[in-house]
Amino acid sequence: MLKNFLQQSSAKYITMKQIYYFLHQHGSSTKANLVEQLKMKQTTVSRHLEQLLSEKIIKFRTFGASSGGRPPAVFEVNPDAGYIIGIDLSRTKTTLTLANCKFSDIDHYSFKMNDKHTPAYTISLLAKQIKYLLDKHDISNDMVLGIGIGTVGPIDRIEGMILEPDAFIAEGWHHIPLVSELRKKVNIDTIQIENGANLAALMSGQNCQDTILYCISGRGLRCGVVSNGSMIHNRTGDASSFGEMIIDVQNGTSLATLISYDYLLKEVNRRYQEYHGRAFLDTDKKKDTMDQLLVALEQGDTIVQAAVSDSAFMYGIGIANMVNVLHPDKVVLNSELTIHYQPYYQKIIETAKQHIKRFEREPVTFTMEEQRDQVISLGACALVFQGYFS
């Protein structure tokens, strides 16, 4: 059983886990390559491979190209040797993903957060859906490596708590012992919590050595950083702190304020009042208004387009400041606006490049997140898996 194997800590299992981790990170390998890369004796590698095969933790993938004689066997991890549950718990939507140990989505469940989603109700709903998915796929609890939770900060990783987040629709989301409360209901001991932006960065940086800056914008701004496959996070787990960067010194206005959806809607309304003597739409109906704003962009509304472009310029300045400090190899943007309105994304990147120092000498790659619905929940799965090797 994979979980039992990963929990072992003797010298024998440490070297065996090195082989398993190498196969997991690199996809597959021959025995000769394992010997060379891990600097182990061939007899040791052979013995460990035999045990891993017998316990169905790894499997044969195929045979490699032969240089004469019998072709070498190629080994890979057995993706169904264990399963992980990842949760993306955000202010507006929560996603629960059941993944195999290769982080492939087996099944998932999502629900929108509204005023009835108090902590107690949400935790009970998550526990119910975890049981449903495990029963549906005939997976016992001892086959589950653990549960990872990605959420908004600030958090207490050690105590497994959500501390004082902003903007949850329902009341009561302050100082919630999320890990212990969920553990009581699901009978799974290994549960870890991390800021969602960090987990998105972790998932985006799987199996690479790059430094990645991952930015999630919408109601606010959350940023995560991964370097050499490891998260770089602050003590409080508050990924929103990047958004507290002051952009407008005269008014003390932060980056998050100038790029948030609420700001955009208010700014569009202000400009409509100035040019047309009326509001764009009622900002109390935020979701409907945001949908209408996207429609207006697609239809070429010049007032809306100008407001969005100005906000994108500020976002680009903020990104440039982050790049100048962090020197990432790659910047990933995740937002509803970047997906639905390409000029917004282009304006951010164009502005950022103009204000990044040493760009010619240290080029940065910019990209847009395309699998935004499950990147955090799958990153939460990766967090649990990595926990067995730290």
pLDDT tens across 319-347, in order?
999 999 999 999 999 998 998 899 999 99
To the nearest 10°, the Cα dihedral for 83, 89, 90, 91? 150
240: pLDDT strictly greater than 80? no
User: What is the per-residue pLDDT across 265-276, written as a single tens digit (0 to 9) for each?
Assistant: 999 999 999 998
Q: Give CA–CA dist 199/379, Å, rounded.
A: 5
Identity of the amino acid at 13: Y
**Class level of CATH domain 2-77:** mainly alpha
Delimit the domains of the chain by residue range.
2-77, 83-207+374-387, 211-368
220: pLDDT strictly greater than 70? yes
202: pLDDT strictly greater than 80? yes
Domains 83-207+374-387 and 211-368 equal at CATH topology level: yes
Strand partners, 231: 226
Q: How far is CA 298 from CA 248, 291, 313, 344, 372, in A?
A: 29, 11, 19, 12, 21
Q: Give CA–CA dist 79/2, Å, rounded.
A: 10
Query: What pTM, to 2 d.p., does this model score?
Result: 0.88
Superfamily (CATH) of domain 211-368: ATPase, nucleotide binding domain (3.30.420.40)
pLDDT of residue 218: 86
Between 63 and 290, the higher pLDDT residue = 290
pLDDT of residue 211: 92
Mean pLDDT of the chain: 90
At the topology level, CATH places domain 83-207+374-387 in Nucleotidyltransferase; domain 5 (3.30.420)
Between 149 and 231, the higher pLDDT residue = 149
Which whole number is the average pLDDT over 8-19?
92
How confident is residue 162, by pLDDT bands cut at 50, 70 and 90? Answer: very high
With contact defined as beta carbons under 8 Å apart, do 364 and 323 qualify?
yes
pLDDT of residue 349: 97
219: pLDDT strictly greater than 90? no
